[in-house]
Amino acid sequence: MRNFEDTYRHKGLREKLINAIREKGITDDGVLSAMMNIPRHFFLDTALEHIAYQDKAFPIGEGQTISQPYTVAFQTQLLEVKPTDKILEIGTGSAYQAMVLAEMGAQVFTIERQKKLFDQNKNTYLRSKYPRIKYFYGDGFEGLPTFALFDKILITAAAPIIPPKLVEQLKVFGKMVIPLEQNGIQKMKRLTKMEDGTLYEETFNEFSFVPMLKGKN
């Protein structure tokens, strides 16, 4: 069960959370105001509502999580979202991250490999608010060749490799934000596709994501 009422109390808690994220180093006002506009408790069971505005990841079923708000803000900031961007997201989960991107004006294509989570997003009250998000059930390693090329690609699960098909589906000078796991450590990377097809790689902090898995479930 979920509560789709957004009270002054919720807004107050959200404001505190956004201030805390700003203090942790997020400077992009577009990201912060998008997150201020989206009630995070709408994405959680009423049993978890009282902790929805803590800066923590929470379970959304099927062993998966809604990412920690700071992590959502960090990835979104690295993506340098513009209102005209066409963005591919891997790992829909609760769809919170997809809605942050849509709130910033982007057109979003999001893929989820777990049927139960994909189905959970079918009837949510929020879905109708963001018609610019298109939902797909499939394996993110394959991307969406039919809808390529993308300006940006965001991976919200820990990837064991840089998925070659996703690199193919990225525009020249497009950016991919990806938590890459190497030797048991996940580091956030931002990859920019150069004109010759090579990747310019920047490395950021360590994070903790659920694994990006092959195939559908």
Q: Nearer to ligand SAH by C-beta: 170 or 212?
A: 212
- Cβ nearer to ligand SAH, comparing 41 with 113: 113
Q: Looking only at residues 150 through 209 of this chain, which bind ligand SAH when binding is defined by CB under 6 A?
A: 156-157
CA 82 to chain centroid = 15
If one asks whether residue 65 binds ligand SAH (CB under 6 A), the answer comes out as yes
Residues belonging to the active site = 67
Is position 210 an interface residue for ligand SAH (rule: CB under 6 A)?
yes
Say whether residue 139 binds ligand SAH (CB under 6 A). yes
- Give the shortest CB-155-to-ligand SAH separation in angstroms: 8
Contact region with ligand SAH (CB under 6 A), list: 46-54, 87-95, 143-151, 186-194: 87-95
Q: Which amino acid is at 109?
A: F
DSSP H stretches of helix in the chain = 8-23, 29-37, 69-79, 96-103, 115-120, 164-168
**Residue 151, both tokens:** 């300006």
Angle at 70 between CA 24 and CA 4, to 5 degrees: 130
- Count other C-beta atoms under 10 Å from residue 19's C-beta: 12
Q: Which of 128, 136, 80 is nearest to 108 (CA)?
A: 136
* Residue 121 binds to ligand SAH (criterion: CB under 6 A): no
Asked if 120 interacts with ligand SAH (CB under 6 A), we say no
Assess 114 for contact with ligand SAH (CB under 6 A). Answer: yes
Cβ-based nearer residue to ligand SAH, 12 or 160: 160
* Binding test (CB under 6 A) with ligand SAH, winner from 69, 140, 143, 179: 140
For ligand SAH, which is the closer residue by CB, 94 or 169? 94
Among 10, 14, 40, 113, binds ligand SAH (CB under 6 A): 113
- Name the strand (E) or helix (H) holding 70: helix 69-79
How many helices and strands in the chain, by DSSP H and E?
6, 9
47 CB burial (10 A radius; 0-12, 13-18, 19+): exposed
Identity of the residue, 199 or 213, whose beta carbon is nearer to ligand SAH in the bound complex: 213
In angstroms, what CA-CA distances link 9 with 15, 21, 100, 163? 10, 19, 21, 42
Amino acid at 150: F
| Cβ–Cβ under 8 Å, residues 94 and 66 | yes
Answer yes or no whether residue 136 interacts with ligand SAH by CB under 6 A: no
Q: Does residue 31 interact with ligand SAH by CB under 6 A?
A: no
Binding site for ligand SAH (CB under 6 A): 64-67, 90-91, 93-94, 96-97, 111-114, 117, 139-141, 156-157, 210, 212-213
